[in-house]
């Protein structure tokens, strides 16, 4: 069980309980179903036998009535009808007796059935003799036979039928009592099995509880020792469940805590030594900070002059950018005008072509008119004297058609010449448009270059402004650093005292001898003396020159500022510095 997890053990117990419960329920259901089936079969058989007994009694009673009516009636028709029914009833009576006799019977049932068969047979024989006597006219003998032989035999037969019915009723009652007793015994048996299963599950649960509480008691005792500072001893378990994992985790925690205490003790000693170094380095850093502050003041003055020079260059670049923009706009308007001219020339060319087409149509009409006039003249000549006037009119129409054709040819020639001239003008205007586009492209490139120069100048001005602000911030930070150095000296003293208190605090824990490594403090480093240098001379202001390179980005300036701050912070945290580091601080 210890190799299984607690959750698996609980699931296993639950599965055992469920399987046992299901088996118990299944057995109970199976037992009750089988008992009920047997009872139903026996009860059906008993009911069938009781129904046969009742049927036999009914047939016998009906036949007794018929025989008595036949014995005392004087109606031949009624006697014949009843005699036929008597024979059918006797056949049915014997058939029911044979069927009943073929089934398994008890001793009492056999005795009752024997009485019923014998007395019933005697009554039937007496009835047959009665009929023969009556048929022979011996009515008194027949009636005497009925009273002496038939009636006693019929009464005994009816008593046998009554006994047989009562036996079937008693059998049904015994079946019900037997079923109730069987169910009671089965119930007691299954209750016993259920109690045994509950005892078994309770025993398994008790075993699991003991395993869990034993492991938890060990963990609690271990945690109590750790709370008191005792980190000696070990914590291990061979269990493979969650409790074993918990015990091993507690052992790992003890090992980690012991290592942590050892490291804290060593770190406390190192912190105390480093705090003393920080105190000595803070005094040296204070003198360097004062020298840096004076150098930053001179740098700030030079940056102000450089800012003024960059501002003048920026204003000039902005004016040039405005002029380039105006030139670009004028060139764009010229391009639009040339475009309108090209469109107008194109429309003139299209109109001239349409006029040429119309004149061609007129020329065709004149040609057709001439042909029609010629045909009219031919017809007038055929008409002779009567068509003379029509011939004169036709000749005039031909003359007009000829003049119209000549005029159309002349106009067409003029229009063709005009179209060629307009086409040549359109080509020249298109060339002028292309030249304007090239001019506009050049102006735009110049405008873009001037814009870039302007943007670069603005960036330079902004960058110099940011540098100037950064220098101002550095000056403020340097002054603040001077005050912080003094605070650092006092903080280092407090840190040394805190390290001593930390060592006292962790001395409460008891760890094994091999878990603590000996601590050897590092040798104290002496700070190099400060070598003051002459202050940096302020550079002379130069005349503003045309910028040839783009100004530095503001983000880079901010990164440089942050890098300077980070460098200063890292250097102020060192316990000692070399002579080359001293030179860097002084040159800054």
Residues 187, 335, single domain; the answer is: no
At 27, is the pLDDT very low, low, confident or very high (cuts 50, 70, 90)?
low
46-60, 123-137, 213-227, 407-421: least confident range: 46-60
Residues 275, 154, single domain; the answer is: no
- Residue 368 clears pLDDT 80, i.e. is over it: yes
Residues 295, 146, single domain; the answer is: no
| Residue 71: inside a domain | yes
Q: pLDDT tens digit string along 427-462?
A: 777 777 777 777 777 777 777 877 777 777 777 778
Give the global pTM: 0.31
Residues 460, 535, single domain; the answer is: yes
Angle (CA) 90 96 97, round 5°: 90
| DSSP per-residue string spanning 340-369 | HHHHHHHHHHHHHHHHHHHHHHHHHHHHHH
| Residue 68: inside a domain | yes
Q: pLDDT tens digit string along 314-333?
A: 777 777 777 777 777 776 77
The whole-number pLDDT of residue 101 equals 63
- Residue 375 clears pLDDT 80, i.e. is over it: yes
Q: How many domains does the chain have?
A: 2
| DSSP per-residue string spanning 504-549 | HHHTTSB--GGGS----PPPPPPPPPP---PPPPPPPPPPP----S
Residues 417, 566, single domain; the answer is: yes
Cα atoms in the 13 Å half-sphere on the side-chain side of 323 = 7
Residues 192, 294, single domain; the answer is: no
Q: What percent of the chain has pLDDT above 70?
A: 64
Q: How far apart are CA 38 and CA 479, in angstroms?
A: 110
Count CB atoms within 10 A of the CB of residue 194: 15
At 80, is the pLDDT very low, low, confident or very high (cuts 50, 70, 90)?
low
- Residue 60 clears pLDDT 80, i.e. is over it: no
| Residue 573: inside a domain | yes
Number of helices followed by number of strands (H, E) in the chain: 9, 0
- Residue 371 clears pLDDT 80, i.e. is over it: yes
Backbone angles phi, psi at 96, to 5 degrees: -65, -40
Higher pLDDT, 542 or 507: 507
In which domain, by residue range, is 120 found? 6-204
Q: How far apart are CA 155 and CA 422, in angstroms?
A: 153
Q: pLDDT tens digit string along 175-190?
A: 777 777 777 777 787 7
| Residue 359: inside a domain | yes
Average pLDDT on 562-567 reads 41
| Residue 214: inside a domain | no
**Residue 503, SS3 per DSSP:** helix
The whole-number pLDDT of residue 307 equals 75
The whole-number pLDDT of residue 318 equals 73
204, 236, 256: which is the final residue of a domain?
204
CATH assignment of the domain containing 92: 1.20.120.1730
Question: Roughly what angle, to the nearest 10 degrees, separates helices 76-102 and 107-135?
Answer: 160
Longest dimension (CA), the chain: 181
The whole-number pLDDT of residue 418 equals 76
Cα atoms in the 13 Å half-sphere on the side-chain side of 5 = 6
The whole-number pLDDT of residue 37 equals 65
């Amino acid at each position: 069980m210890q190799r299984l997890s607690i959750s698996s053990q609980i699931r296993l117990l639950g599965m055992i309980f469920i399987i046992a419960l299901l088996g118990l329920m299944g057995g109970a259901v199976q037992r009750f179903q089988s008992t009920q089936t047997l009872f139903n079969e026996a009860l059906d058989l008993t009911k069938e036998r009781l129904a046969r007994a009742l049927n036999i009694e009914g047939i016998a009673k009906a036949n007794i009535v018929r025989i008595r009516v036949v014995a005392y009636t004087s109606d031949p028709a009624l006697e014949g009808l009843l005699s036929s029914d008597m024979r059918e009833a006797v056949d049915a009576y014997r058939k029911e007796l044979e069927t009943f006799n073929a089934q398994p019977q008890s001793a009492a049932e056999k005795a009752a059935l024997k009485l019923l068969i014998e007395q019933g047979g005697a009554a039937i024989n007496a009835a047959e003799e009665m009929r023969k006597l009556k048929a022979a006219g011996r009515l008194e003998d027949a009636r005497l036979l009925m009273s002496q032989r038939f009636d006693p035999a019929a009464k005994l037969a009816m008593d046998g039928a009554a006994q047989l019915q009562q036996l079937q009723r008693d059998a049904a009652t015994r079946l019900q009592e037997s079923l109730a007793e069987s169910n009671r015994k089965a119930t007691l048996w299954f209750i016993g099995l259920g109690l045994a299963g509950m005892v078994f599950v309770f025993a398994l649960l008790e075993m699991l509880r003991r395993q869990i509480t034993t492991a938890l008691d060990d963990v609690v005792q271990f945690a109590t020792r750790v709370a008191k500072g005792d980190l000696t001893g070990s914590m291990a378990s061979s269990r493979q469940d969650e409790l074993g994992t918990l015990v091993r985790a507690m052992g790992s925690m003890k090992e980690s805590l012991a290592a942590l205490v050892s490291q804290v003790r060593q770190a406390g000693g190192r912190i105390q030594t480093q705090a003393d170094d920080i105190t000595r380095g803070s005094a040296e850093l204070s003198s360097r900070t004062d020298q840096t502050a004076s150098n930053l003041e001179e740098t700030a003055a030079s940056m102000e002059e450089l800012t003024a020079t960059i501002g003048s260059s920026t204003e000039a670049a902005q004016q040039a950018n405005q002029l380039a923009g105006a030139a670009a706009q004028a060139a764009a308007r010229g391009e639009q005008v040339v475009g309108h001219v090209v469109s107008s020339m194109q429309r003139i060319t299209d109109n001239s072509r349409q006029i040429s087409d119309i004149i061609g149509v007129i020329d065709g009409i004149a040609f057709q008119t001439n042909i029609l006039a010629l045909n009219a003249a031919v017809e007038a000549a055929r008409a002779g004297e009567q068509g003379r006037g029509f011939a004169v009119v036709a000749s005039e129409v031909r003359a007009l058609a000829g003049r119209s054709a000549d005029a159309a040819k002349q106009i067409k020639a003029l229009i063709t010449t005009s179209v060629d001239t307009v086409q040549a003008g359109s080509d020249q205007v298109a060339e002028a448009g292309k030249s304007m586009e090239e001019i506009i492209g050049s102006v735009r490139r110049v405008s873009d270059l001037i814009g870039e120069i302007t943007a670069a100048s603005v960036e330079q001005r902004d960058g110099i402004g940011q540098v100037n602000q950064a220098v101002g911030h550095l000056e403020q930070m340097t002054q603040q650093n001077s005050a912080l150095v003094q605070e650092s000296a006092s903080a280092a003293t407090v840190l040394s005292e805190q390290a001593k208190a930390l060592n006292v605090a962790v001395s409460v824990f008891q760890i094994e001898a091999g878990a603590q490594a000996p601590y050897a403090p590092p040798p104290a480093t002496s700070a190099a003396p400060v070598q003051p240098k002459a202050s940096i001379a302020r550079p002379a202001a130069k005349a503003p020159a045309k910028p040839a390179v783009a100004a530095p980005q503001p983000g880079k300036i901010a990164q440089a500022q942050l890098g300077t701050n980070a460098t200063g912070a890292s250097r102020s945290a060192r316990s000692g510095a070399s002579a080359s580091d001293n030179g860097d601080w002084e040159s800054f």
